[in-house]
Structure 1
Amino acid sequence: MKTARIIHNGVAQRAMERDGQLALDDGTLVAFDAVTWLPPLEPTPLPRTILALGLNYADHAKELEFKAPDEPLVFLKGETALTGHRQVTRRPAGVDFMHYECELTIIIGRTARKVKRDDAYDFIGGYTVANDYAIRDYLENWYRPNLRVKNRDATTPIGPWFVAAKDVPNPMALALSTTVNGKVTQSGNTKDMIFDVPFLIEYFCAFMTLQPGDIILTGTPDGVVDCKAGDVIVTEIEGIGALMNTIG
């Protein structure tokens, strides 16, 4: 089952995919382009923790001329960085290189503390797709991305769907791809992650509590290219969905 969060007639609500349309809470069917798409995340009573992985695919590390990390390279993101499907992300004036990052995103479903990898999947609520844009001009150090690289408002589209964990039998065997204006520029598979999904759950909750609604962006494979104003970017993950975003 795929669910989304959207705004229709000024009301934020959940919606379900049905026969190529969106079924709203009252049963009304509307077209995908008749709503404003929000990140497919339920509101949480606590501030949401957003964890993001860097260099979690060996080919991407090689692409950037870095040695693959021996332990997860992680940074935090603020929630204002998130935006929805079909939304616009602004390219700052004067920058030389801004690129997408297609990433499988984990959404925590249960409070997790000191969970072992064999039990990790029991604590995942579901998955979605993220496009975690990076602006290389502002990068001080690949191992320390500063706020202007990864925490700019609306630079991390996420969605369009929340897909329940039970509907993703093996998240470690999903094809990823990105197109820019219809041309395939990135292709990979989650099986090539350096640190897989169960490892990441065990790693994080060994020293911090993960709460329902927290999210983990798991990194991107190689194949990133510069994106210009007007470009339409589609980041897609097999069985999860195709996330569209336009550079403004």
Structure 2
Amino acid sequence: MTTTAVPAAGAYLPQGTVYGTLLNFRSEFDAWAPKMNEAPYKAPPNAPILYVKPVNTWSTSGAAIPVPASAPQVEVGATIAMVIGDKPNTVAGYVLMNDVSLPHASFFRPPVKFKCLDGFLGIGNEVVDAAKAGDPSAFTLDVRVNGEVRQSSRFSGLVRNAQQLLADVSSFMTLQPGDVLMLGCDITADGARPLVKVGDRVEIRAPGFAPLVNTFVAEAA
């Protein structure tokens, strides 16, 4: 069943296309490096790897995210994203996001069915102005599941920092006003992402940002 996010009064929802970015944390890139020379690619990527999170995936902070009956657990993809300003390829601000996915075997080109299920993108309720947010390389965030810290990420560990990512993406496509570009999702020490199940409450916190909170519920029949 397709859902559309209904924001709380004054809550932010994207006005353009939301793009995710793969393999942009050094830890994740290095974990997958041994497989990068295997078929079908046979070489490390030389440009950002992007994918789209369409409108059916959007869930505002405070919303319940449905978990399919076929998936006992789903992955949390905590990140911070750039919101494009009034002029193409410029940054107006930053927003917290939870890029939820079904667990899958490859991050190189994940099928839509793993990442684009209804409600599978938690979105922070406010955009922090770029000038107020400061240097994105200094961003940090924590993922808390039922109050327990399960992941801590530092955006100083990006393969392409925010400025370089924007420049590289802009070299082959135009990011339009209202578009959103995620900086990427980190992995934990075991090479995975935090897993959650029905009944769990996930809170993503970053200094200067209002927390992004979502609960996970069983998908309606």
Identify the TM-score tier after normalising by the shorter chain. 0.7 to 0.9
* Structure 2 residue 22 is the aligned partner of structure 1 residue 66: no
Amino acid aligned to 1:236 = R
**2:41 corresponding residue in structure 1:** none
How far 1:41 moved relative to its partner?
3.2
Give the TM-score normalised by structure 2. 0.82
What root-mean-square deviation, in Å, do the aligned CA atoms of Structure 1 and Structure 2 show?
2.0
What letter is aligned with 2:98?
N
Alignment of 1:37-76 (within 5 A): 38=11, 40-41=12-13, 44=15, 48-62=16-30, 65-67=31-33, 69-76=45-52
What is the letter of the counterpart of residue 81 of structure 2? T
Aligned to 2:216: 247
More strand by share: 1
Instruction: Find the residue that maps to 1:129 and give its secondary structure.
Output: strand
> What is the aligned partner in structure 1 of residue 115 from structure 2?
150
Report the Cα distance in structure 2 between the residues aligned to 1:238 and 1:222, rounded to whole angstroms. Answer: 20
Query: 1:180 deviation in Å?
Result: 0.5
Structure 1 position 168 matched with structure 2 position 144: no
- Which entry has the higher C-alpha Rg, 1 or 2? 1
Aligned-pair CA distance for 1:160: 2.2
Contact 2:48 2:169 in 1 (8 A): no
* Aligned counterpart, 1:192: 157
- Inter-partner Cα distance in structure 2 for 1:60 and 1:181: 25
Runs of 5+ unmatched residues, structure 1: 9-13, 15-37, 114-122
Deviation at residue 236 of structure 1 after TM alignment: 1.5
- Aligned-pair CA distance for 1:167: 0.7
> Which of 237, 241, 247 is the equivalent residue of 2:206?
237
Q: Structure 1 residue 69: deviation in Å?
A: 4.9
Aligned pair 1:85/2:61, yes or no? yes
Q: Does 1:228 align with 2:200?
A: no
Higher relative contact order (CA 8 A, sep 6+): 2
SS in 2 for 1:240: coil
Alignment match, 1:104: 80
Q: After TM superposition, give the deviation of residue 111 of structure 1 in Å.
A: 2.8
| Contact 2:66–2:216 (CA under 8 A) maintained in structure 1 | yes
1:144-170 residue CA offsets vs partner (Å, 9 max, x unmatched):
111111111111010122111111121
Identity %: 25
